[in-house]
Every structure is written in structure tokens, then in C-alpha cells.
Amino acid sequence: MINNLIVSGSPHIHKPESVARIMWTVVISLIPALIAGVIIFGANALWVTLAAVTAAVLTELILGLCTRKKVTVFDGTAVITGILLAFNLPSEVPLWLPIVGAVFSIAIGKAVFGGLGQNIFNPALVGRVFLMASWPKYMTTFTLPFNLDAVTSATPLAALKEGKVLEHISYLDLFLGKHGGCLGEVCILALLLGAALLFIKRYISWHIPFTYILTTGVFVYIFGGDKLFSGDWLFHILSGGLILGAFFMATDYVATPLTARGQLIFGVGCGLLTAVIRLWGGYPEGVSYAILMMNATTPFIDRYTKVRIYGTR
């Protein structure tokens, strides 16, 4: 009789959510953008993504077996890292590039810190920055959309940085992804569809993405034009990896602040850094560096935005 009475501490309500379930939902939410990438840049986009995912999963499996830890391959986190890494690559890269990047992401970005939940940086972005620093030639060669001859083109942001006049790129083209860029970041529509799923399931909150995008927009509006308050804020929001970064990479559970207040600070910081790098930095795009830099500040943000326990001072 006694054994049937199990008294445990609260909470008592059980929800069927688990890490694996959330992560696989995130994988599903990324599929529209992948389909868009394949439609825009052709089958290469699919091969790059598959290569990155396979390499990430295999690395996770092998490292898990070597270190005799719990096998965490099936919770989908390695799959997400692979997909996000591939989304940050141009579609015409040689296939060894996503493989090397994915191995680096999982091994150096995640496993050396102790695996899932311990990494201080977003693993996919660690991989991307590594590739960017190592093989800039491949990482900045983009192809024109709907072009099977693989004509290289600059991203709209890179063209802007070089001071070229941006002709015939309308906001609609930017929104639908008809321009050069990384394979997963171009189609804003598909990314927003995926993000909507995460919002409906309440897997991500509005704090980071909205403050991030808003801050970038406002900052660019103020300082981005020839005179103050004349910047093309809509162009900056719709181009580059801002939407992908804000919804899918800045909202990573592990490397971002826990409290709502902390997340607001995190979002504003990401937005400021992104805008500063885009307007005055050496690179045309700053999303990945902005998120990584703010990842580094997360422990401090967490410390200073600790929630006061009710009844204490």
C-alpha cells in the first residue's frame, strides 16, 4: 500500500514536452526554408544540407560513443546544427566544406564544452565562422537565383558595402528570396512560416527576435542613410541573415539568457552589433558575429537579471 503513495515535490502537472520533441519541431519548422532554398538555388542546396546534417549526426554519434556519454543523437539537436550550418553557406560550395564545418560545429562548438546544454556558443555559428575564417573564397561566392550556369553574384548587402547602386531588387524580391545569398537565409516568407510554427507551439518567445529585428531596423533608420533618420531600414531587415538569425539562431535555448529581461537585453545587443557591423564594419553581414558575441555575454546577463525570489530582498 505504502508504495503507491509517492510524494514528490512540485510541479505535479506533467507535459509531454521533451528536448527531443521540441528539437524535432524546430527541424520541421526549418523545412519550408530548405524547400525554398532548393527551389531558388537548385538541387545543390539540398546536397549541401544533407552533407552537413549527415556529418553533424555522425560526429555526434562517434563522439558520444567515444566519451561513453548518453547517446544524444536522436534528440535532433545535431540535425538542427547541421541544417542551420548549411543554411549559412552558399549553395555552390564544394561538398567537403559543409562536412568539415559540421564536424567542427559539433566537436569544437559543442562536444568540448560537455555536449548538449553546456555549449556557450551556438554550434552552427561556430562552424560558420570557422569556415568563413578558413575558406573565405568559397564562403563569399554566391550564385544568382534560378540560374543553372552558376553565375556568381554579390549579395545585396555586399553590393551595398562596395558602394554599388542596387538596381532592380524590390522589397518583394528580397522577401521571396530572389537574390544571391546563403541557401537558407534568402526566402523570408518560408522562414516566417517556420517561425510562426514555433510561436504557435510557444517554443520561442517574442523577446529576442522582435527586439533584435526592431533594434537593427531603428539603428539603421537613424544612422544608415546620408543624413540622420533616412536609412533604408526595410532593406536591412529583409536582406542578409537577419530573419534566420533572429528567429532560429538567437533563440537557441542553451546559449541565450533565461529571463525575459535578459532576453530583451540580448536582443537589443544583437541588433546593435549587427547594425554596427553592417554599416561601419569590414564585413557586409554581421548577424553571425553579433549573435556569437552576445552568446559570450549571456552568463553576465543572466547574473544581473536574476529573478528576485518572492519574499526575499
Q: In 187-232, where does DSSP find H-type helix?
A: 188-200, 207-223
Of the ranges 74-82, 126-134, 188-196, 264-272, which one interacts with another protein (CB under 8 A)?
Answer: 126-134
- Taking Cα atoms as reference points, which of 3, 111, 92, 84 lies closest to residue 44? 92
Q: Which of 35, 58, 61, 134 is the binder for another protein (CB under 8 A)?
A: 134
Q: Which residue, 112 or 307, is less far from another protein as judged by CB?
A: 112
Under the binding rule (CB under 8 A), the answer on residue 133 touching another protein is yes
Cβ 132 to another protein shortest distance, Å: 9
Of the ranges 71-79, 127-135, 210-218, 276-284, which one interacts with another protein (CB under 8 A)?
Answer: 127-135
Nearest-5° Cα angle at 31, 28 to 36: 160
- Taking Cα atoms as reference points, which of 23, 221, 200, 126 lies closest to residue 192? 200
Under the binding rule (CB under 8 A), the answer on residue 112 touching another protein is yes
Per DSSP, 143 falls in state E
Cβ 290 to another protein shortest distance, Å: 18
List C-alpha distances in Å: 164 to 159, 171, 191, 222, 235: 5, 17, 28, 21, 15
| Burial class for 174, CB neighbours closer than 10 Å (0-12, 13-18, 19+) | buried
Cβ 68 to another protein shortest distance, Å: 14
Helix (H, G, I), strand (E, B) or coil at 227: coil
Under the binding rule (CB under 8 A), the answer on residue 136 touching another protein is yes
Cβ 106 to another protein shortest distance, Å: 15
Q: Which of 130, 203, 253, 283 is the binder for another protein (CB under 8 A)?
A: 130
* Amino acid letter, 100: V
Under the binding rule (CB under 8 A), the answer on residue 135 touching another protein is yes
Q: Which of 108, 144, 193, 234 is the binder for another protein (CB under 8 A)?
A: 108
Residues that bind another protein (CB under 8 A): 108, 112, 130, 133-136
